[in-house]
Chains A and B, each alone.
Chain A
Amino acid sequence: MIVTEGLVKTFGKLVAVDGVSFTVNDGELFGFLGPNGAGKTTTINILTTLMRPTSGRALVGGYDVVSEAEKVRRIVGLVPQDITVDDDLTGWENLMLQAGLYHIPRSEARRRAAEVLELVGLSDAAGRRVETYSGGMRKRLELAAGLLHDPEILFLDEPTLGLDVQTRAAIWEYITRLRRELGMTVFLTTHYMDEADSLCERVAIIDRGKIRALGTPSDLKASLGGSIIDLEIVNGGSADVMSILGRVDAVRRVSLADGVYRLSVDNGEEGLPAILENLLRSGVRVSRVVMRKPTLDEVFLEYTGRKLRDETGSWEEAFRQRMIVRRMRT
């Protein structure tokens, strides 16, 4: 179990983590989503005792991360965002090094190492120096090292970033199995919304150090309303399409990007006819309509005002944010 209360971490003037509170239950698979620089890695660093919080409290497995750091270290596993396996050693030697750091006796270490290598598909490469590994292989070895001591709580910082589809799938399958069979608690950050959606029981969306939304993926999606409608218009003319759309009751939110109007609608099936009618009446002709259920991507956009993989501060993002019209409904 992980409990944080008002966690704050500042670097000089920058507030990297700004009053974060959440609880992760035993055996839960919890996803932490946020754009670059949101404070995800900093949060993980605090929870794994690498950094001290500026203020606030965090308990990991019942132990305080500041006053009982040593105990926390014993029960957590960390797969860091950056690759830290040693290039000059073989894959096997890297795991034996890890075993030494976690006081795993030799014979058990050998058995565990063979097991985790098999799992990440590196059994054949184990005798080779990591120098000769590809980026994906390094990442997999890093994961194997994090799992070696069979931690109670596993922290994964971008575990599947840069991996091919098959490996991602294999790793996810293993992580879900870990949780199911061993009851391991998993806290992870990812940039892949589809992964977070299908695998995490609950996700938190963090932006600029603050948690903006927290819940199950389906609840978060439902909070956006039932449907997303994309509209393209025949030569916009002089009509103010934004405000026309904004006046339709069913429409909760409109944004414009690359000539496509994106609408969040409570009930698309019933709302769409009204929307089209309103547009036609104002002389606006629609050339294309797509209606679908919202994904976590849209949830993300809704709560952070940006897409996940955008660079912070890009002109595109600034543009999109200006185009977002929020409509208050009561």
Chain B
Amino acid sequence: MMNLLMELQALVGRELRKWVRSPFLLFMTMVQPVIWMGLFGKAFNLTAILNISDDVLAQLPPYITSQLGEAFNSIMASLLGASGLDYFTYMSVGMLSIVVLFTSMSTGMSVAWDRRLGFLNKLLAAPIKRGTIIFSKVLSSVIRSVVQALMVMAISIAFGARYSLSSPISLPAALASLFLLSLGLSSLFVSLGVRLKSWESQMAVMNLLNLPLMFASNALYPIRMMPSWLQSIASVNPISYAVDAVRQSLLYGPAADPSKLLLDLGAVAVFAAAFTAIGVLIADRGLRRG
């Protein structure tokens, strides 16, 4: 037990040191979601489509404007999940899960680098459990993911996202959801990194997974706006559940549905448990001696 703690401290410490020491890399991983928020959240503003310019509104009789307003509100509410939400707020919450996705993926890549630079061999020659090697990667990945998601949250609030917490446990619930998502995704990507020994094939597989995971989810667009085939993919995508859990807890305020939140969290937990188990099995075989 003491030994395991020492091993973890050494390896997780290394990962986190490397992380905070490369400000450029940190900056780049933050820039990406911020650009996305600007591009999608502000430029392709879904709510703006339904805006009517003020001079047009002024010419309409008052009862028509109020009916129009009601109609628009109900359309938006059914799309975004609650009335009074703007699209930027909606998608910036989705970005939190995307940040988790990107961070977990970069952890997977770092396994390939460790192999290439011979660092992995140093670990394999040491009297440590093979599982510790995997576990330390996943653990540091989870820490990084959650911290970076919180940073994106702060940035989005600075840019005008309006959060509305539904209860005191909202924030813990949102964090739990991001934590579980990160656990599952990190295990997935780390085990891919261990199994796919060449760096190139790893890049290929990860890019292949990356885009569907991101776009076939409700992170950027409401699932209802998708064609039905995409809807069915999105409805089994763990990111959709994690994103919805965060929206239920941080955005919808009084309109939040606690049973939906529980369902979401349960789904992400199942995903995390399944992929952690699969990851441990796969990775263990991948680290076995050739």
Which residues of A are at the interface with B, using a C-beta cutoff of 8 A?
48-52, 69-70, 73-74, 76, 78, 80, 82-84, 86, 88-89, 93, 96-97, 99-103
Q: How far is the CB of A42 from chain B (nearest CB, A)?
A: 11
Q: Which residue in chain A gives the minimum CB-CB distance to B5?
A: A100
- Looking at B120-128, B180-188, B278-286, the stretch in contact with chain A turns out to be B120-128
Q: Which residues of A contact B7 (CB under 8 A)?
A: 100-101, 103
CB A146 to nearest CB in B, in angstroms, measures 9
Contact stretch, chosen from B16-24, B28-36, B50-58, B216-224 = B16-24
A101 B22 Cβ-Cβ under 8 A:
no
Are B22 and A88 in contact, CB atoms less than 8 angstroms apart? yes
Name B's A-contacting residues (CB within 8 A).
2-3, 6-7, 9-11, 13-14, 17-18, 21-22, 117-119, 121-128, 289-290
A266 CA to B244 CA, complexed, in Å: 88
Given A50-B289, A73-B126, A102-B126, residue A88 in contact with residue B6 (CB < 8 A): no
> Is the pair A48, B290 in contact by a Cβ cutoff of 8 Å?
no
Q: How far is the CB of A57 from chain B (nearest CB, A)?
A: 15
Of B6, B118, B290, which is within 8 A of A84 by CB?
B118
Question: Residues of A contacting B6 with CB < 8 Å?
Answer: 100, 103
B127 contacts A84, CB within 8 Å?
A: no
* Interchain CB contact under 8 A, B289 and A80: no
Where chain B touches its partner, the secondary structure class is: helix
In the complex with contacts A86-B14, A88-B21, A101-B118 CB distance below 8 A = no
Give bound CA distance, A89 to B122, whole Å.
15
- How distant is A157 from chain B, measured CB to nearest CB, in Å? 11
Does the CB pair B118–A82 fall under 8 Å?
A: yes
* Apart from A52-B290, A80-B122, A101-B10: 19 A-B pairs, beta carbons within 8 A: A48-B125, A51-B289, A52-B289, A73-B127, A76-B125, A78-B125, A80-B121, A82-B118, A83-B118, A84-B117, A84-B121, A97-B11, A97-B13, A97-B14, A99-B10, A100-B13, A101-B122, A101-B126, A102-B126
Q: Which B residues are CB-close (under 8 A) to A99? A: 10
Please name all residues of chain A whose beta carbon is closer than 8 Å to the beta carbon of B22 when the two chains form the complex: 88
Partner of A100, one of B11, B124, B125, B289: B11
Residues on the B chain within 8 Å of A102, using CB: 126-127
Known A-B contacts A89-B17, A99-B10; A50 and B125 likewise in contact (beta carbons under 8 Å):
yes
Closest to A53 in B: B289
- Which residues of B are found within 8 Å of A97, using beta-carbon distances? 10-11, 13-14
| Complex interface: chain B residues within 8 A of A49 (CB) | 124-125, 289
Could you tell me the distance between the alpha carbons of A181 and B286 in the complex, rounded to whole angstroms?
Answer: 41
Residues of A near B126 (CB, < 8 A) are 73, 101-102
CA distance A52 to B289 in the complex (A): 6
A116 to B128, alpha carbons, bound, how many Å? Answer: 22
Please state if B18 and A50 are interface contacts (CB–CB under 8 Å): no
CB distance from B12 to the nearest CB of A (A): 10
Given the contacts A80-B121, A84-B119, A99-B10, A51 and B290 also touching, CB distance less than 8 Å: yes
> Which residue from chain A places its CB closest to the CB of B124 in the assembled complex?
A50
A96 surroundings in chain B (CB, below 8 A): 10
Tell me, in angstroms, the Cα distance from A89 to B14 when the chains sit together: 8
CA distance A88 to B7 in the complex (A): 19
On whether A100 and B10 interact (CB within 8 A), knowing A49-B289, A50-B121, A84-B118, the answer reads yes
Q: Which residue of B lies closest to A82 (CB)?
A: B118
Shortest B20–chain A CB gap in Å is 10
* Minimum CB distance partner of A70 in chain B: B127
CA distance A101 to B2 in the complex (A): 12
Residue in A51, A80, A103 whose beta carbon sits within 8 Å of that of B118 in the complex: A80
**Best-buried of B18, B21, B117, B127 by chain A (most CB within 10 Å):** B127
Whether the Cβ atoms of B128 and A101 lie closer than 8 Å is yes
